Structure 1
Amino acid sequence: MSADDWDAQLLYFLDKGYRVVAHDRRGHGRSSQVGDGHDMDHYAADIAAVVAHLGLRNAVHIGHSTGGGEATRYVARHGQDQGRVAKLVLIGAVPPIMVRTEANPSGLPTEVFDGFRQQLAANRAQFYLDIASGPFYGFNRPGAQAAQGVVHNWWRQGMMGGAKAHHDGIRAFSETDFTEDLKVIGVPTLVMHGDDDQIVPIANSALLSAKLLKRGTLKVYEGLPHGLCTTQADVVNPDLLTFIRA
């Protein structure tokens, strides 16, 4: 996806008088489709470069899904010096770790992510339509009506990026262990998650992350999906504002 996926938040917080900065991850959106560096260390270093270039101080970093892992690693490794970061928000985020390992026996089997890679390689365009019209926004739930504009916008954003970046990114979001990152983060952190998230199950993510954080606050949304920032922006945005102003 790209910075466009934050439209509902960008406009909301601009209207509240905030400066809002969003970026397209390397290989995604309008950023260069480079062939390497599609891992959390590079993602975090890229954020650090943007922050330094813009001279940002006292910023609130908000990351959704893979971006939650990206923001976690940035704050842990780059953002706690020189007053760069005031607060952190993780929404439907992948930490601590998604894949099943000996240390994380309740994680998702690696075959799940192998399947993602296979579907992406076989027909990326169809795969993105299927994800957006199904589990990402909960449009596959009984009685749910898919918002076609939302589905098409998700697909548009996805197809702007590069297949290599997306293929490698699956490993980055599923296999990176953020446990130690979470433990060292000292800024106030809000962990927001829908309990009907079919992409990043809440039991293996938000519930664990909130316990590992020194100053973590957990906010669970009953029945809400992974893409809640888009479909339930009217619920998410005021809660973000309350946390930022606190």
Structure 2
Amino acid sequence: MLMSFLQSQPLMRPQVAEGGATNSGTSLSRDSAAEPSVTNWSSFTSAFSVFAQKILPTNLPGSAPDSGPAESHTFVNSLQRQAAENIKRFQRQGLRDFASAPVRAEESPEVEVEPNDYNNCTNQPNTVCGAQWLLLWTTAAYAPEQPTDEERKALRTFFTEFQDQCRDRSYAKTLETFGAPECSSRRQLMMWLCVGQNKFRNFTVPCRYQSLLDRWRHRDGYL
């Protein structure tokens, strides 16, 4: 459900240079940004499919240990529905805000700041950007503590190909500045997200692994 919704949206993708770094482009005016190019979703969709089938925990509350795929991935489906609903709910308001924003000169280095959705202390976002980061955080929190080579590759592709929907380009800037995450461990991935979010969303969340894990993995009751 999430994939079909996202694939229907024309989104902007960060330009990844050789070696994992990304090339930061010139700031776009409102008119030029209104028509972003449609990107190739094949690798992103494939990575999410692998992630959903092989990486998220299968023995979830309410499911027997030997339950079939449909039951074992109830949480994955719930995540997709929640993310899609959040994005749909905020998209119209976001587009209205975007349409009314003042036009910036293309050569201007300034970038419009995404409204802070108070996601410093809550897991309930109220903007498209917050819904996007909620999905990123939950994905990282439920990644294996020590991924196998196959899982690491799937996670790295997922986070590298993820389409940034934030007007402030906070996730794209994280990739551009810090490069793609190594995904060598759950801890490394969550620290990478925390540092990037604090820097480019002006958050002040302490980057303490156990605190982040308690917030994004344990607060919802799934262990």
Q: Report the TM-score when normalising by structure 2.
A: 0.30
**More strand per residue: 1 or 2?**
1
